[in-house]
Chain A
Amino acid sequence: MSVTDYLSWGGSMQVRKQEKIDLYRLMVRIRAFEEQSFISFNQGLTYGVLHLYIGEEAIAAGCMYDLRKEDYITSTHRGHGHLIAKGADMGRMFAELLGKETGYCRGRGGSMHIADMTIGILGANGIVGAGVPISVGAAFALRYKGLDHVVLCFFGDATINTGAFHEAVNLASTWKLPVVFVCENNLYGISVSIKNACALRSLADRSAGYAIPGVCVDGNDVLAVRKACIEATARARKGEGPTLLECQTYRWGGHFTADDGKYRPDEEVRHWKEERDPIGNLARDMLGSGEIDQQEIDVIHREVKEEVEKAFRYAQESNPADVDGMLRGVYYESPTRTRNSKGEDLP
C-alpha cells in the first residue's frame, strides 16, 4: 500500500501482511543490536555509557518505515534505534561503539554522536534539546530548495522543557516548515518523572501553544505509530507545517548502562515489559490472526541474530581508531581548487 493509497482511503488501516512482517523484523533488529551493545558494554569493549532503546523500538520502526532516503532525521543520546530504522549500517555502528577507525565517526564520536550524512541522519546528540532547532534548520533548507522531503525530529519527554524546544517549534510553526516533532514519552528524564517536570497531562497538548496539530499515540503499537507518522509527514510534505506527535512508551532499563533505574516502581516496569512489549505484542497479534506462524518468527529471529553477529564481527576485526590522524578532522580541509581570473572554479 502506498502512502497516497492509505490517505485516500481515509486512513483506514489495511496494512499488508508483508509490511507487518517488515516492521516486526525491524524492531527485532533494533533490539538485537541493543542487546549486543549491552553485552559489549559489560565486557568493557565500549567507552563511556550507552543509552539503550530497548522497549521503545516501535517508535523508530513505525515512524521510519515509510520515509524516503532523502528525508532527514535528528536523533538523541538514545539514538541507536533511530539510526537502524533510517538505514544505518550495524557494522559501522558497532565499530563506532568499539572505537574503531571503520566506525561511523572513526571512533571520535561514540554512541551519542553517530551520524550518516549519506542517508539523512543528522546525528545523535549529547545535548538534550539541541537536535530540535537543527531539525528545523534542515526543514527550512528543504523548503528553500523546493523539495518535498521532510525531517523527523526525535526527542524525549523531558526535552520539551528545554528552551531550545520552544524556540525551535515556534519557528517551525510560524514558517510552516516540513518537520514532524516526535516526542518519545518514556515517562522519565533520567530519574525525574515527567509528572514532576511538566504540569500537562498529555504532552501533545503543548502543540496548542504553537497552533500546530498535536497527536498522542500508543508508542508501543507500531501500527498506530506508523499511521500517525504517515499523516504527519503527508501534512509536512504538502506544506501544511509541523505536527507534534507524542508516542507513549517506556525504557526497559535504566537511563544509561550504568543506571539501575531503581527510582521506578517495580510494578510499573513489570507492566510495560510484560504487557506492553512492542515486539511481543505484534507477534501475538499476528499469530492470533494467522498472518504468521511460529516457524516464520523463529526464522526472523535466527536471521537477525546472524546479521548482528556478522556486524559485530566486522567491528571487532576492524582497526582501532587512528591516533596519529586525530588532529586532521578538527577543520575541514577543502580540496585545492584552481580558479580563473574571475574567481570561478576550473574543472
Chain B
Amino acid sequence: MRVMSYREAVIEALREEMTRDGNVFLMGEDVGRMGGVFQATAGLWETFGPSRVFDTPISEVAIVGAALGAALVGLRPVAEIMFVDFTGVAMDQIANQVAKFHFMTGGQAIVPLVIRTQGGVGFGDAAQHSQSLEAWHTHIPGLKVVMPSTPSDAKGLLKTSIRDDNPIIFIEHKLLYQTEGPIPEGDYLVPIGKADIKKEGKDVTIITWSKMVLDSLEAASLLEEEGIHAEVVDLRTLNPLDLDTIIFSVKKTGRAVIVHEACKTGGFGAEIAALIVEKAFDYLDAPIQRIAGIDTPIPYAAPLYRAVIPNPDKIAQAVRGLL
C-alpha cells in the first residue's frame, strides 16, 4: 500500500479518469495553471493541457450551467466550485436544472456531472468560507451527495462519481487535504451509497461523515481508554444513504450519537435520527444524541469558531452522558 494525502488522492482519481475517458474534462476557477487554490488539481493542466482543463471566469452560474449543457451533449464534466459556500450563487442551476433534468425529461436526458467543492471550518476563513451546506443538497431529489473522509475513500469515490450517470455533489473538507492514509494499488472503486465502519464497538454507535469522522475516531480512542467501545460509522455518502449499516449497528449497540460539523437545526443528523426512530425505536436504550455545530454563522476568531463546532472532547462527553 502507498501512503498519500487526501489532496493527492483527489488528483490521482482525476488523472486516472481523464486518462481512461477522453470525455472527462475539468472546469472551474483557478483549476488550471494554478492547480486550484487548495492545489487539488495540481499538475493536471501540465498533463492534459488547456483542451481538457479549463480556467473559468468567476461565474458560478455559468460553470454549473455549462457543465450541465456539456453533460447533456455527451461529455462528463467535473466542475469545481471553489467553496461550497459559493454553491449558493449557482443554486438555480444545481437545484432547478442539474438535479431535475433527467426526471423532467421523462428519462431522456442523462446528466453525468460531478460538482467538486470543499467546505467546513478551516483556520479562520469566517462566515462565507467555512460552512457545511450538505443538508441543502440532500434536500434536492436527483442529486447524489458524497463526502469522503479518508484519502482512499476520496480516490475511490471520486472515480465512481465520475463514472456515475447522475449528478453528484462531491464535498471535500479544507482540513482534510493534508491528511494522509494508505491507498490501494490499481484501479479500485468505492461504491456510492455504502457506509464504512471505521472502528467497531459494541456500546454505542457514532454516525458521522467528512472531517468529523476523524474527530469521532479520536473521541472513540479516548473512550476506549475508559472501557467504552464505540463503533464509528462513516457514511461516506449522504444520498443515497446506507440505512442498513446504520440500523444494523444501532440494533447492536442500542445507542446512537450523530456527529456533524454543520449547524444542528435542519442538519442531516435530524434525518438520520428520524430514520433510526422509524426503523429501530425498540432497540434504543437511550435517546439519540446529535452533536453538531451551534446555530450561528461561523465566526472569524479561533476561540469563537472552536466553540461553534464539535471536537473529540465534546463528542466523548456526549457519549459518556448516554451510558
Question: What sequence of 0s and 1s flags, for each residue 60-86 of chain B, a beta carbon within 8 Å of any chain A beta carbon?
Answer: 111000000000000000000000011
Tell yes or no: B21 within 8 A of A by CB.
no
Set of chain A residues within 8 Å of B17, measured between Cβ atoms: none
Q: How many residues of B contact A (CB 8 A)?
A: 38
B123 touches A127 (CB 8 A): no
Which residue from A125, A161, A326 sits with its C-beta under 8 Å from B299?
Answer: A326
Set of chain B residues within 8 Å of A42, measured between Cβ atoms: none
A190 touches B307 (CB 8 A): no
Set of chain A residues within 8 Å of B304, measured between Cβ atoms: 99, 107-108, 321, 323, 326
Q: A110 and B303 in contact (CB under 8 A), knowing A189-B58, A190-B30, A327-B294? A: no
A321 touches B58 (CB 8 A): no
With CB as the reference atom, state the residue of chain B lying closest to A330: B296
Of A78-86, A191-199, A206-214, A275-283, the one with at least 4 CB within 8 A of chain B: A191-199
B126 touches A263 (CB 8 A): no
Near B by CB (< 8 A), chain A positions 122-171 give: 125-129, 158-159, 161-164
Near A by CB (< 8 A), chain B positions 279-313 give: 294-297, 299-304, 307-308
B307 touches A105 (CB 8 A): no
Question: What sequence of 0s and 1s flags, for each residue 297-333 of chain A, a beta carbon within 8 Å of any chain B beta carbon?
Answer: 0000000000000000000000011010011011000
Tell yes or no: A47 within 8 A of B by CB.
yes
Q: A197 and B58 in contact (CB under 8 A), knowing A48-B125, A110-B124, A323-B303? A: yes
Tell yes or no: A239 within 8 A of B by CB.
no
Complex Cα gap A189–B58 (Å): 8
- The A interface, classified by DSSP as helix, strand, loop or mixed, is loop
Set of chain B residues within 8 Å of A128, measured between Cβ atoms: 58
Q: A109 and B89 in contact (CB under 8 A), knowing A99-B304, A163-B59, A192-B57? A: no
Question: What sequence of 0s and 1s flags, for each residue 44-57 of chain A, a beta carbon within 8 Å of any chain B beta carbon?
Answer: 00111100000000
Complex Cα gap A110–B124 (Å): 8
- Nearest-Cβ distance from residue A199 to partner chain B, whole angstroms: 10
Tell yes or no: B275 within 8 A of A by CB.
no
Which residue from B33, B55, B86, B300 sits with its C-beta under 8 Å from A110?
Answer: B300
A105 touches B296 (CB 8 A): no
Tell yes or no: A112 within 8 A of B by CB.
yes
Set of chain A residues within 8 Å of B86, measured between Cβ atoms: 127
Tell yes or no: B128 within 8 A of A by CB.
yes
Complex Cα gap A111–B129 (Å): 12
Which of B32, B304, B308 gathers the greatest number of chain A CB atoms within 10 Å?
Answer: B304
Set of chain B residues within 8 Å of A99, measured between Cβ atoms: 124, 300-304
A158 touches B301 (CB 8 A): no
A109 touches B307 (CB 8 A): no
Question: What sequence of 0s and 1s flags, for each residue 115-134 of chain B, a beta carbon within 8 Å of any chain A beta carbon?
Answer: 00000001111111100000
> Which bucket holds chain A's interface residue count?
35 or more
Tell yes or no: B29 within 8 A of A by CB.
yes
A105 touches B300 (CB 8 A): yes
Tell yes or no: B197 within 8 A of A by CB.
no
Question: What sequence of 0s and 1s flags, for each residue 108-123 of chain A, a beta carbon within 8 Å of any chain B beta carbon?
Answer: 1111110000000000
Tell yes or no: B34 within 8 A of A by CB.
yes
A161 touches B296 (CB 8 A): no
Set of chain B residues within 8 Å of A158, measured between Cβ atoms: 57-58
Tell yes or no: B37 within 8 A of A by CB.
yes
- Nearest-Cβ distance from residue B101 to partner chain A, whole angstroms: 20
With CB as the reference atom, state the residue of chain B lying closest to A198: B57
Which of A47, A111, A126, A197 gathers the greatest number of chain B CB atoms within 10 Å?
Answer: A47
Complex Cα gap A111–B297 (Å): 16
- Nearest-Cβ distance from residue B134 to partner chain A, whole angstroms: 19
With CB as the reference atom, state the residue of chain B lying closest to A196: B55
Complex Cα gap A321–B306 (Å): 12
Which residue from B59, B122, B307 sits with its C-beta under 8 Å from A161?
Answer: B59
With CB as the reference atom, state the residue of chain A lying closest to B298: A108
Complex Cα gap A122–B284 (Å): 51
Q: A47 and B302 in contact (CB under 8 A), knowing A127-B85, A326-B307? A: yes
A320 touches B58 (CB 8 A): no
A109 touches B61 (CB 8 A): no
Complex Cα gap A107–B129 (Å): 16
- Chain B positions within 8 Å of A, measured between CB atoms, are 29-30, 32-34, 37, 55-62, 85-86, 88-89, 122-129, 294-297, 299-304, 307-308
- Chain A positions within 8 Å of B, measured between CB atoms, are 46-49, 96, 99-100, 105, 107-113, 125-129, 158-159, 161-164, 189-192, 196-198, 263, 320-321, 323, 326-327, 329-330
Nearest 5 CB-CB pairs, A to B?
A: A47-B124, A99-B301, A110-B300, A126-B128, A191-B34
User: Can you offer 23 A-B residue contacts whose CB atoms are under 8 A?
Assistant: A46-B124, A47-B300, A48-B125, A48-B129, A99-B302, A99-B303, A108-B127, A109-B127, A109-B300, A127-B88, A161-B57, A161-B58, A163-B61, A191-B30, A191-B34, A197-B56, A320-B303, A323-B304, A323-B307, A326-B304, A327-B296, A329-B296, A330-B297
